[in-house]
Structure 1
Amino acid sequence: MADKPSVLFVCVHNAGRSQMAAAWLTHLAGDRVEVRSAGSAPGDRVNPAAVAAMAEVGIDMSAQTPKLLTVDAVRESDVCITMGCGDACPVFPGKRYLDWKLDDPAGQGVEAVRPIRDEIRVLVEGLIAEIAPLGPEGSV
């Protein structure tokens, strides 16, 4: 893995789970990790309930837009994480592939999205501890 690990979150529409995961990783790891998200069939906008749920914890996703998954995005990432939605990434040797089984927030209200948001945070915190832990006294 590079000095600055790179993570790609993948979900079919890139409108909910993968966007929340990318936002959490950016928020919690800062510039210690390069973050991407994409989908095989991107939606036309990020799920408004996901945007609202993240805003409740001080993370603004309102400017994000769903992006198309490309072979280059996978190639350039150290870790590729699918969100339990059956999406597949092209497989390249030396990459780490994970699948996080998460409920789909599509069509749900913010009340239903909150537990998904919180579960994603826990998973992202575990990922950071593995790939970009802070050193003694908070150093990188």
Structure 2
Amino acid sequence: MSETKPSVLFVCVHNAGRSQMAAAFLTHLSKGQVEVRSAGSAPTDTVNPAAVQAMAEVGIDLSTRTPKFLTTEAVQASDVVVTMGCGDTCPVFPGKTYLDWTLDDPAGHGVEAVRPIRDEVEQRVRSLLADLPLH
């Protein structure tokens, strides 16, 4: 981990749902103590509207976020890389911590189906945050 603050990268295929929610939760819950990134192996143009709505219900605004393409630099700059269904497309570097979270993909689903995914993401982010060395 870096001496200043730990950095976490969340990666899913489209960077439109799971990874966006995870990054938003970690940003919110860490109160700036963690450098947070998210990216996708094949990002879409916009964040999933059902994910935006589900996060708004818990007071977190995703409406201005845009999906980003996964880069080698983003992985190299991160201490922890959390993958969510992107398979082998995420580059692996020594010295990084890799976690793979199996979560349902919210793509194509309404907010009713996204809420349980959001809640699972929040629980996992809280657990991850508890394990990070914060200053």
Q: TM-score w.r.t. structure 2 length?
A: 0.95
One-letter code aligned to 1:2: S
Structure 2 equivalent of residue 97 of structure 1: 98
Question: What are the within-5 Å matches in structure 2 for residues 80-91 of structure 1?
Answer: 80-86=81-87, 88-91=89-92
Structure 1 equivalent of residue 46 of structure 2: 45
Provide the aligned length of Structure 1 versus Structure 2: 134
Q: Structure 1's 59 and 132: CA in aligned 2 closer, same or farther, altered over 3 A?
A: farther
Q: Specify every segment of 5 or more residues in structure 1 that has no aligned partner in the other structure, as ranges.
A: 134-139
One-letter code aligned to 1:72: E
- Find runs of 4+ consecutive structure 1 residues off by over 3 angstroms: none
One-letter code aligned to 1:36: R
**d(CA) in 1 for partners of 2:104, 2:91:** 23
Q: Structure 1's 114 and 87: CA in aligned 2 closer, same or farther, altered over 3 A?
A: farther
8 Å CA contact 2:41, 2:86 repeated in 1: no
Q: CA deviation at 1:84?
A: 2.9
Aligned residue for 1:25, secondary structure, equals helix
Q: CA deviation at 1:107?
A: 0.4
Q: Structure 1's 85 and 91: CA in aligned 2 closer, same or farther, altered over 3 A?
A: closer
Q: CA deviation at 1:87?
A: 5.1
**d(CA) in 1 for partners of 2:86, 2:41:** 11
**d(CA) in 1 for partners of 2:121, 2:86:** 14
2:126 pairs with 1:125: yes
Q: CA deviation at 1:30?
A: 1.5
8 Å CA contact 1:82, 1:88 repeated in 2: no
Q: TM-score w.r.t. structure 1 length?
A: 0.92
Structure 2 equivalent of residue 29 of structure 1: 30
Q: CA deviation at 1:89?
A: 1.4
Q: Specify every segment of 5 or more residues in structure 2 that has no aligned partner in the other structure, as ranges.
A: none
Q: What is the aligned-residue RMSD (CA, Å)?
A: 1.1
Structure 2 equivalent of residue 14 of structure 1: 15
Structure 2 equivalent of residue 61 of structure 1: 62
**d(CA) in 2 for partners of 1:87, 1:102:** 16
**d(CA) in 1 for partners of 2:52, 2:26:** 15
Over the matched positions of the two proteins, sequence identity in percent amounts to 73
**d(CA) in 1 for partners of 2:109, 2:81:** 26
